[in-house]
Chains A and B, each alone.
Chain A
Amino acid sequence: MAPSSRSVARESLKGIKKAVLILGLLYLALFFIQRFLPHSDYREAPLVGSRVLIWVIAQLHLMLAAFVLGVPIFAVIAEIIGARTGQEKYDHLAREFTKLLFLAFTTTAVMGCGLLLVLAFHYSKLFHYMRGVFSPVWSVYIALIFAEVAFLYAYWYSWEPLRRNKNLHIGIGIMLNLCGTGLLFLADSWVAFMTTPSGVDPTGRLLSLRQAMTTFLWMPLNIHRLIANVSFGGAVVAAYAAYRFLRAGNEEEKAHYDWMGYTGNFIALSALILLPFAGYWLGREIYHFSSQMGVEMMGGAFSWLWILQAVLIGAIFLGANFYLWIGMQRIPGSERYGKFVFYLLTVLTVCWMIWATPHNLPATSEEMRKMGGAVHPFLGVLGLMSAKNTVVNLMILATFLNFMLYRRANKAPTAPWAPVGQALQAIILAASTAVVIGYGIYGYYDFFGFFGPSGGQTPPHIRVGFSAYQILIVLFTVILCTALDLAIFRNARTLGEIRWGKLAPRSQYVLFFLAVSYTWLMGLMGYVRSALRQHWHIWGIMKDTSPGAFTPTVGHATLVVSGCTVCFLALVGFIIWMGERGEPDATERVPPGGSGE
């Protein structure tokens, strides 16, 4: 074995030893709880209560897990791009991403162990049941943890030794991602089972482990989380880059972190645009499993949380677009597109306002009397899903258009057919906008009488299906226009190089705002998914009979989500601080990679 291979193996072994230590301590603690403590279904935690305690720990574990699963995905993608294009900056970027993973991985593992301990101690009835149902899976899960640790260490420590054998190194990175995805899928099967149980009889006796793992919610949850993890990881990396940009000691470092922040935000936004598709599937599966649960989610106790979600995603869209507009300042030739900002901002703002409009307004009895009921005659119409789906798709289209303008800001096409191609792009965008709006309006009125009397109301079950067509037309538009854009601007004339680092500091605060909003949004939606079970640990199978079995108010939930977000950011701050220790002073640092395109 060559010395470098030996050192990689030695470091991987260190990682495995650390995992053995953490899991060993967990095993001892679990053994102590079960063997020496008197049996009790529930044990109440002091001060905050066991419900809030497990909520916070589970949420923190999820956020950290999302980060350590999302970041390796685009670290490997960045490395592949670097290897294929020969641009060293991508390799440096991938390496910097991976560096962040190390401490985050340990923190995630510790938090996961904490979650299991709290579950075993405060909710022992549920813990014993879940352990019993999924007992054969635990060994696979633990094996995957060890494999992931080994691949992570090997991926990091073999970076230099395998510099001349990039394919092997990328292969290790892919294995790291496969292990992470496997862990995600297994853990998802447990939470999906709790919400949409299957494979058990009404008393909870296991009939089929395969069915218990592949429940209604499992695959949509896997896909939704996988995409969301990439988006979330991108946002957190962009925030890290923003922090480093603000503290940069020289221009080169500033340029590098500006580029890194832009790349992280681009990844976050690209994945975010895909999320509604996965979210739609997830919601549909919930309705398929239990229409009662679906109605509770969209029209019952949780309906106001969707207004909060609209406010958050609208803020994220606006922030991301604002960042692109500020970013155009560093691109020569971008002045040509400045005139579009006003119109795009108007579209985004109006759409955001419509999306955040509730169907039923909180109103006094006097106000309701004046409105003629609980629903406002005009705003009530905007509160329906037809309007909301329409504006969400318009916001995606507006953001996509903005990104296209940003991308072409310093380019002038040289292809003779470019004017035709650009006209075609405009026609496609205009047509898809018209189709999206058309479906939105047709959701209210069946003008042509396709589904009943002409001019009558479109039946609700037909109207709901329109959202799928709207999403598909937007996806089609994005793919087609991107393909055209790549062809139009092939061999384009450059109007000037992007001046990386020449950016107003407020742009970096926008990146940070986006990361905090992503984190908060993740906490909120995690709460909705979990709280759908209401007073059930496992829907329809095991009731929660603890004092915390109630579903809290929205106000209470948002306070806990804010607390989780602050704790997560503090942990990430700690991780970054640990990573920074030993680095040279800001003015002496050498930039880790280039930035110019």
Chain B
Amino acid sequence: MSKEARNLVLLALLICAGYAFFGQLVPQKRLDPPTPPAIRQGITEEEMVEVGREIVHGPRGNCMVCHGFGESLGKRGPDLALVGRSLWWDGMRPVGFQGNPRSSI
């Protein structure tokens, strides 16, 4: 291998190593598939609240990035404390949505 080719190989390895090293410096979070919510026939209201809390605030929950709850957190989406009063199911679907209905909520 010529000297120039060797220099270029070393440079490429150095750049890739540098970028990969930078990738190790940021917060690391592995996302596992979610466990299905434990909703069954005859579930109590308290248990239902717990299931909701897990969905919203659990490791996969990003609801509060956009939504607020009362005075707290995000302002992009509607206030979740009031959304039940102001919107029916159809109103939650974005206008023009044509994809899979399950991903709209």
Q: Residues of A with Cβ closer than 8 Å to B?
A: 196-198, 202, 215-216, 242-243, 246-247, 288-293, 295-296, 299-301, 304, 307-308, 311-312, 358, 362, 459-461, 509, 512-513, 516-517, 520, 534-535, 539-541, 543-544, 549-559, 561-562, 565-566, 569, 573
Instruction: A196 to B104: give the CA distance in the assembly, Å.
Output: 12
A-B contact pairs, 26 of them (CB 8 A): A202-B102, A246-B7, A288-B96, A291-B66, A291-B94, A292-B103, A295-B66, A304-B27, A460-B75, A512-B8, A520-B16, A534-B31, A535-B32, A535-B33, A535-B34, A540-B100, A540-B102, A543-B33, A549-B33, A554-B27, A555-B26, A555-B28, A558-B23, A559-B23, A562-B19, A565-B16
Q: Residues of B with Cβ closer than 8 Å to A?
A: 2, 4-5, 7-9, 11-13, 15-17, 19-20, 22-24, 26-34, 62, 65-66, 75-77, 94, 96-104
Residues from chain B with Cβ under 8 Å of A549 in the complex: 32-33
12 other A-B residue contacts (CB within 8 Å) besides A512-B12, A556-B30: A198-B98, A215-B99, A243-B4, A243-B8, A289-B103, A290-B103, A291-B94, A296-B62, A539-B103, A553-B28, A558-B22, A566-B16
- Partner of B29 from the list A196, A198, A544, A553 (CB cut-off 8 Å) is A553
Known: A202-B100, A299-B65, A512-B8. A520 touches B19 (CB 8 A): yes
Please tell me if the beta carbons of B100 and A197 are within 8 angstroms of each other in the complex: yes
Residues from chain A with Cβ under 8 Å of B22 in the complex: 308, 311, 558
> Which 6 residue pairs spanning A and B have beta carbons closest together?
A558-B23, A535-B33, A553-B28, A551-B31, A246-B4, A540-B100
Residues from chain A with Cβ under 8 Å of B5 in the complex: 243, 247, 573
- Partner of B103 from the list A215, A459, A516, A540 (CB cut-off 8 Å) is A540
Instruction: A428 to B67: give the CA distance in the assembly, Å.
Output: 40
Please tell me if the beta carbons of A290 and B31 are within 8 angstroms of each other in the complex: no
Instruction: A292 to B23: give the CA distance in the assembly, Å.
Output: 25
Residues from chain A with Cβ under 8 Å of B102 in the complex: 202, 540
Instruction: A553 to B32: give the CA distance in the assembly, Å.
Output: 11
Instruction: A206 to B104: give the CA distance in the assembly, Å.
Output: 20
Q: Which residue of B lies closest to A244 (CB)?
A: B4
Instruction: A196 to B103: give the CA distance in the assembly, Å.
Output: 10
Cβ of A21 to closest chain B Cβ, rounded Å:
32
Cβ of A314 to closest chain B Cβ, rounded Å:
12
Please tell me if the beta carbons of B15 and A513 are within 8 angstroms of each other in the complex: yes
Please tell me if the beta carbons of B20 and A559 are within 8 angstroms of each other in the complex: yes
Please tell me if the beta carbons of B12 and A566 are within 8 angstroms of each other in the complex: yes
Instruction: A152 to B99: give the CA distance in the assembly, Å.
Output: 39
Residues from chain B with Cβ under 8 Å of A358 in the complex: 26
Cβ of B95 to closest chain A Cβ, rounded Å:
10
Please tell me if the beta carbons of B17 and A562 are within 8 angstroms of each other in the complex: yes
Please tell me if the beta carbons of B24 and A558 are within 8 angstroms of each other in the complex: yes
Most-contacted residue by chain A among B8, B30, B33, B102 (CB, 10 A): B8
Instruction: A61 to B58: give the CA distance in the assembly, Å.
Output: 37
Residues from chain A with Cβ under 8 Å of B31 in the complex: 301, 534-535, 550-551
Question: Count the A-B residue pairs with Cβ separation under 8 angstroms: how many?
Answer: 143
Instruction: A90 to B8: give the CA distance in the assembly, Å.
Output: 27
Instruction: A557 to B9: give the CA distance in the assembly, Å.
Output: 22
Please tell me if the beta carbons of A520 and B65 are within 8 angstroms of each other in the complex: no
- Partner of B28 from the list A215, A243, A460, A554 (CB cut-off 8 Å) is A554
Residues from chain B with Cβ under 8 Å of A197 in the complex: 99-100
Cβ of B101 to closest chain A Cβ, rounded Å:
8
Known: A461-B76, A554-B23, A555-B24. A516 touches B11 (CB 8 A): yes
Q: Which residue of B lies closest to A550 (CB)?
A: B32
Instruction: A242 to B46: give the CA distance in the assembly, Å.
Output: 67
Residues from chain A with Cβ under 8 Å of B32 in the complex: 535, 549-550
Please tell me if the beta carbons of B99 and A216 are within 8 angstroms of each other in the complex: yes
Q: Which residue of B lies closest to A304 (CB)?
A: B26
Instruction: A460 to B77: give the CA distance in the assembly, Å.
Output: 9
Cβ of A460 to closest chain B Cβ, rounded Å:
4
Q: Which residue of B lies closest to A242 (CB)?
A: B8
Cβ of B81 to closest chain A Cβ, rounded Å:
18
Residues from chain A with Cβ under 8 Å of B11 in the complex: 509, 512-513, 516
Residues from chain B with Cβ under 8 Å of A541 in the complex: 100
Instruction: A258 to B4: give the CA distance in the assembly, Å.
Output: 16
- Partner of B104 from the list A215, A290, A509 (CB cut-off 8 Å) is A290
Instruction: A551 to B31: give the CA distance in the assembly, Å.
Output: 5
Residues from chain A with Cβ under 8 Å of B98 in the complex: 198, 216
Residues from chain B with Cβ under 8 Å of A300 in the complex: 62, 65
Please tell me if the beta carbons of B4 and A293 are within 8 angstroms of each other in the complex: no
Residues from chain A with Cβ under 8 Å of B7 in the complex: 246, 509
Instruction: A376 to B105: give the CA distance in the assembly, Å.
Output: 32
Please tell me if the beta carbons of A551 and B24 are within 8 angstroms of each other in the complex: no
Instruction: A198 to B101: give the CA distance in the assembly, Å.
Output: 10
Instruction: A512 to B27: give the CA distance in the assembly, Å.
Output: 30
Residues from chain A with Cβ under 8 Å of B15 in the complex: 513, 516-517, 520
Cβ of A371 to closest chain B Cβ, rounded Å:
16
Residues from chain B with Cβ under 8 Å of A551 in the complex: 30-31
Cβ of A374 to closest chain B Cβ, rounded Å:
11
Instruction: A308 to B26: give the CA distance in the assembly, Å.
Output: 9
Instruction: A543 to B77: give the CA distance in the assembly, Å.
Output: 28
Instruction: A553 to B24: give the CA distance in the assembly, Å.
Output: 9
Residues from chain A with Cβ under 8 Å of B34 in the complex: 535
Cβ of A111 to closest chain B Cβ, rounded Å:
19
Cβ of B25 to closest chain A Cβ, rounded Å:
8
Residues from chain B with Cβ under 8 Å of A312 in the complex: 19
Instruction: A544 to B4: give the CA distance in the assembly, Å.
Output: 46
Q: Which residue of B lies closest to A293 (CB)?
A: B103
Residues from chain B with Cβ under 8 Å of A554 in the complex: 23, 26-29
Please tell me if the beta carbons of A558 and B19 are within 8 angstroms of each other in the complex: yes
Please tell me if the beta carbons of A558 and B104 are within 8 angstroms of each other in the complex: no
Instruction: A295 to B100: give the CA distance in the assembly, Å.
Output: 17
Q: Which residue of B lies closest to A457 (CB)?
A: B75
Residues from chain B with Cβ under 8 Å of A301 in the complex: 29, 31
Q: Which residue of B lies closest to A196 (CB)?
A: B99
